[in-house]
């Protein structure tokens, strides 16, 4: 029986065997606060608070593939050093096969260290050297790839321009993949696509597309698609690649088939709120590859990848999308800005790791009025991201009686999520928000009319070192009085 729903293809991801070949590096994030300038030079002083070490470069593609449940193998080169050992361990922990990860003697693993204060990146320090893969080592690696291709459905080349994808190695990998009947998708770095000849699909971003075509493009301008498609087809003819997929940031994706008998496809972006685009291209590559491996059409694969990118840019830092998140997005079970408790808990943790201040308030919000808006605005002033806990319909009935709520939880959630101060809404079914707060662990909780001695939720937040703020009440507004006035 044919599959008609896009989200059903996501269930097939764990059966897909994907090989990622790419430039591996170690990403280090150092987070802290700045409140003064150095007396030695006019530069900010960062007071370090925490740091994170994670897979970088093509490693983020691998992390996304594993998060999606794909059977993943990785091919790459790192040094015979502590950083290279750490990267091998990280890949193993993800569940990916890394027997084709070469640790090269005399080569230092690439490391990128980013220093961050709040939301602001202050500095990035790179430690790297050009990779020149000796011929004998390359032949060993190609032999392992050829063997691995017998158990592979899709090959992804993640080129970060660090030296692995040269004029010897890249054509050899593509040739081996094509002989094995595997599609090859390339995330390019160079503007000379000669080394990508024979690839099924090359996926440049707008800047990279302009580099290879030698032209500038404005997606908002009339006639953009037609001009871009003509230029893209010329690239396909010149370099012998079969298709292009141009990612256009807030303007979505443009598919340019090399075959002129096939129509181009342009789909818009799906991001609601963009916090960070770090790694969005890696997520797009991973999901696109997994989707095409299942046998979906290009347009369907684009929609699935586009949905995934819309999820990941709503997170902070280099991030992954899970299979569950992607299914929910495609099923449209979540409204824009409305999260499940599980998704909100994960996001709150990511925000804290990034040094963001997580805020929280809660209520029934049955009929919105200026008092509610004032509370949201004041609460948002206290934090970077504001989560709003919303009582479910059953919870409201237990608290307010059988005639309430006036509006159901879907309507109430949509209205609250649409307000500018609100970042996310989380519906909870308990009589109080205490269980939800215990999971989210917000840094700040703010609510009107509740002194701390009569406010268990505020006491909980302060018990683990957070801050509880009693907001001033706006007199003359309450949902109950509005309902009574309507009834009278």
Instruction: Convert the pLDDT of each residue in 242-288 to its tens digit.
Output: 999 999 887 888 999 999 999 999 987 654 444 444 557 888 999 99
What was the pLDDT predicted at 7? Answer: 76
Same domain for 93 and 197? Answer: yes
Domain termination site, one of 264, 298, 333? 333
Same domain for 291 and 382? Answer: no
Question: Which pLDDT band holds residue 316 (cuts at 50, 70, 90)?
Answer: low
282 is catalytic: yes
Same domain for 119 and 38? Answer: yes
Same domain for 132 and 212? Answer: yes
What was the pLDDT predicted at 314? Answer: 58
What was the pLDDT predicted at 99? Answer: 87
The mean-pLDDT minimum among 176-185, 191-200, 366-375, 475-484 falls in 475-484
Same domain for 322 and 355? Answer: no
Range of the domain at 99: 6-333
Question: Which pLDDT band holds residue 430 (cuts at 50, 70, 90)?
Answer: very high
What percent of the chain clears pLDDT 70, i.e. is strictly above it? Answer: 91
Q: How many domains would you assign to the chain? A: 2
Instruction: Examine residue 1 and state whether it is found in any structural domain, yes or no.
Output: no
Instruction: Examine residue 139 and state whether it is found in any structural domain, yes or no.
Output: yes
Same domain for 348 and 483? Answer: yes
Average pLDDT of the residues of the chain: 89
User: CA neighbours within 13 Å on the CB side: how many for 301?
Assistant: 22
Same domain for 276 and 403? Answer: no
Instruction: Examine residue 382 and state whether it is found in any structural domain, yes or no.
Output: yes
Question: Which pLDDT band holds residue 484 (cuts at 50, 70, 90)?
Answer: low
pLDDT at residue 334 above 60? Answer: no
Euclidean distance between CA atoms 204 and 58, whole angstroms = 15
The mean-pLDDT minimum among 127-131, 139-143, 332-336 falls in 332-336
Q: How confident is the model over 458-479, as a mean pLDDT?
A: 85
Q: How confident is the model over 73-92, as a mean pLDDT?
A: 95
What was the pLDDT predicted at 340? Answer: 85
Q: Assign residue 470 the CATH number of its domain.
A: 3.40.50.620
Same domain for 93 and 210? Answer: yes
Q: Assign residue 35 the CATH number of its domain.
A: 3.40.1190.20
Instruction: Examine residue 58 and state whether it is found in any structural domain, yes or no.
Output: yes
Catalytic residue among 282, 366, 384, 443: 282
Same domain for 347 and 310? Answer: no
What was the pLDDT predicted at 400? Answer: 86
Q: How confident is the model over 46-58, as a mean pLDDT?
A: 92
Same domain for 288 and 421? Answer: no
Domain termination site, one of 333, 368, 399? 333
Same domain for 82 and 198? Answer: yes
What was the pLDDT predicted at 277? Answer: 47
Higher pLDDT, 478 or 22: 22
Chain CA centroid to CA 78, Å: 25
Same domain for 317 and 372? Answer: no
Domain termination site, one of 316, 333, 350? 333
């Amino acid at each position: 029986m044919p599959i008609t729903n896009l989200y059903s293809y996501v269930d097939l991801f764990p059966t897909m065997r994907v090989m990622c070949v790419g430039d591996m590096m170690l990403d280090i994030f150092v987070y802290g606060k700045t409140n003064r300038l150095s007396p030695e030079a006019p530069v900010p002083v960062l007071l370090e608070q925490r740091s994170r070490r994670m897979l970088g470069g093509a490693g983020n593609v691998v992390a996304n593939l594993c998060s999606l449940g794909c059977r993943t193998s990785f091919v790459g080169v790192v040094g015979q050093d502590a950083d290279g050992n750490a990267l091998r361990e990280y890949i193993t922990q993800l569940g990916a096969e890394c027997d084709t990860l070469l640790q090269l003697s005399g080569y230092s693993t690439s490391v990128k260290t980013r220093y961050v204060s709040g939301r602001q990146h202050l500095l990035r320090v790179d430690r790297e050297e050009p990779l020149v893969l000796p011929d004998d080592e390359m032949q060993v690696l190609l032999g392992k790839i050829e063997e691995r291709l017998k158990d592979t459905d899709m090959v992804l080349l993640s080129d970060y321009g660090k030296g692995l994808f040269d004029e010897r190695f890249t054509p050899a990998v593509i040739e081996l993949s094509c002989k094995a009947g595997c599609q090859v998708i390339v995330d390019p770095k160079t503007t000379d696509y000669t080394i990508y000849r024979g690839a099924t699909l090359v996926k440049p971003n707008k800047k990279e597309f302009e580099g290879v075509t030698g032209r500038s493009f404005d997606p908002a301008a009339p006639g953009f698609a037609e001009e871009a498609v003509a230029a893209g087809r010329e690239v396909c003819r010149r370099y012998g690649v079969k298709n292009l997929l141009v990612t256009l940031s807030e303007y979505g994706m443009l598919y340019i088939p090399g075959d002129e008998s096939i129509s181009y496809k342009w789909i818009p972006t799906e991001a609601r709120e963009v916090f960070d685009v770090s790694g969005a291209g890696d997520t797009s590559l991973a999901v696109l590859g997994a989707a095409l491996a299942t046998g979906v059409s290009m347009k369907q694969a684009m929609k699935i990848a586009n949905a995934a990118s819309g999820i990941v840019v709503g997170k902070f830092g280099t991030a992954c999308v899970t299979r569950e998140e992607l299914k929910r997005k495609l099923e449209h079970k979540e409204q824009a800005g409305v999260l499940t408790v599980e998704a909100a808990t994960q996001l709150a943790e990511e925000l804290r790791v990034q040094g963001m201040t997580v805020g929280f308030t809660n209520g029934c919000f049955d009929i919105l009025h200026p008092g509610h808006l004032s509370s949201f605005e004041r609460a948002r002033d206290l934090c970077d991201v504001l989560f709003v806990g919303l009582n479910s319909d059953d919870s409201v009935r237990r608290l307010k009686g059988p005639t309430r709520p006036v509006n159901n939880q879907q309507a109430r959630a949509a209205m609250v999520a649409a307000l500018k101060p609100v970042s996310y809404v989380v519906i909870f079914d308990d009589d109080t928000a205490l269980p939800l707060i215990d999971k989210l662990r917000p840094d700040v909780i703010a609510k009107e009319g509740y002194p701390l001695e009569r406010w268990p939720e505020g006491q909980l937040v302060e018990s683990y070192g957070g801050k509880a703020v009693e907001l001033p009440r706006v007199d003359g507004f309450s949902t109950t009085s509005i309902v009574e006035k309507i009834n009278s």
